[in-house]
Amino acid sequence: MKDTVFTIKENNIIAPQTYQMVLEGDCSSITAPGQFVNIHLPGFYLRRPISVCDLEGSTLTIIYKTVGKGTAYMAQRKAGETLLVLTGLGNGYDLGCSGEKPLLIGGGAGVPPMYLLAKRLRSDGKEVQVIMGFNSKEEIFYEEAFRNLGFQVTVTTVDGSYGVKGFVTDALPNQYSYVYTCGPEPMLKAVYKGIQTDGQFSFEERMGCGFGACMGCSCKTLTGYKRICKDGPVLRKEEILWED
Ligand SMILES: Cc1cc2nc3c(=O)[nH]c(=O)nc-3n(C[C@H](O)[C@H](O)[C@H](O)COP(=O)(O)OP(=O)(O)OC[C@H]3O[C@@H](n4cnc5c(N)ncnc54)[C@H](O)[C@@H]3O)c2cc1C
Ligand code: FES
C-alpha cells in the first residue's frame, strides 16, 4: 500500500456520466487485477475507492461513474492537476483458478476491473470470454477495447437497444472453466445462482478507511466476518453468504 501523488494525464467522458481518467505515478504496489485505489479529494472527508482498470508501467487508468459529489468533483479535474492516491488496496483476483476458458462478467461500473484481468489472462494464454452488461446502448463503454484484445465479447442491454436483450445471465455460454465477475449486487447474486462453475466475485461495498483499519466494510461470509477492503473486494463463490 502506498500513498502517492499522481498527475492526471487525461480525464475524458466516454459514455453518459462515465469518465476515463489516466494517471501517472508510482504504481509499484499494485500487484493484481481486481485491486482498487482510494482517492483523496480535497474538501471530502472520505476517500473514494475506484478499481484499477488498466496498468502499464507508471500509467494507471480508472473509469468512474458520476453518482455523487465526489465523483462529480473528479469529473471536473483537468490534465496536469494532481491527486493523492492510495494504491495497492484489496486482494484482487486469483488468476491461478481460471482454467483454460475463463468467463469474465462485468456489469456497468463493474466492467473496468475486467479489463486488466482480461489482459493478464491473455498473457497466460487463456481463451477468455467476456460478457458486459449495461442498461442501454448509450451506456456502453470499452466494448472495442475488449474486442481489440481478441476475445469473444457479448454485450447485453436491459432495454434490448444493443446486443442481447436482458441481463448478463441471459447470455451465459455453454462452456467455460471458471467465472470472474464484478458489478452491482443484484447482478452478482444472479450470476452466483446462474453459473455452473466456481468463481470469484468482486463487491463494491461502501467504505471508510479502505485499508482494513475501521471495520466499516465488514460483512458476514461462510468463513467468518471479512473486511471487503482488505480481505476482499474479491470473494470466492464458496465463501459468499447472501443476506436478504
Ligand atoms: C472496491 C471498490 C471499487 C469501486 N470501483 C469503482 C469503479 O471502478 N468505477 C466506479 O464508477 N465506481 C466504483 N466504485 C464505487 C465508487 O467508489 C462510488 O461510486 C463513489 O465512491 C461515489 O462517490 P460520490 O462522492 O460521487 O458519491 P456519494 O455522494 O458518496 O454517493 C452517491 C450515491 O452513490 C451511492 N454509492 C456510493 N458509493 C457506493 C458504492 N461503493 N457502492 C454502491 N453505491 C454507492 C450512494 O449510496 C449514493 O446513493 C467502487 C467501490 C468500491 C468499494
Ligand atoms: S473500509 Fe475500513 S476496514 Fe474496510
> Over the stretch 59-104, which tens digit does the pLDDT of each residue have?
999 999 999 999 999 999 999 999 999 999 999 999 999 999 999 9
Residue 216 has which C-alpha cell? 466499516
Q: What is the DSSP letter of 62?
A: E
pLDDT exceeds 80 at position 244: no
Question: Which of 50, 85, 117, 207 best tests ligand 1's pocket when mutated (most atoms within 8 Å of CB)?
Answer: 50
Residue 205's pLDDT is what? 82
Q: Is the separation of the CB atoms in 173 and 128 below 8 Å?
A: no
What residues are paired with 199 via a beta bridge? 179
Give the pLDDT mean for 202-208.
89
Mean pLDDT of 156-176: 98
Q: pLDDT over 90 for what percent of the chain?
A: 97
Atom of ligand 2 nearest to the CA of 213: 3
Q: How do residues 27-45 score in pLDDT, each as one tens digit?
A: 999 999 999 999 999 999 9
Q: Is 89 in the pocket of ligand 2 (CB under 6 A)?
A: no
pLDDT, average across residues 145-164: 97
Closest-lying ligand to the alpha carbon of 227?
Answer: 2
The ligand whose atoms approach the alpha carbon of 36 most closely is 1
Spatial CA neighbour of 130 closest among 138, 139, 140: 140
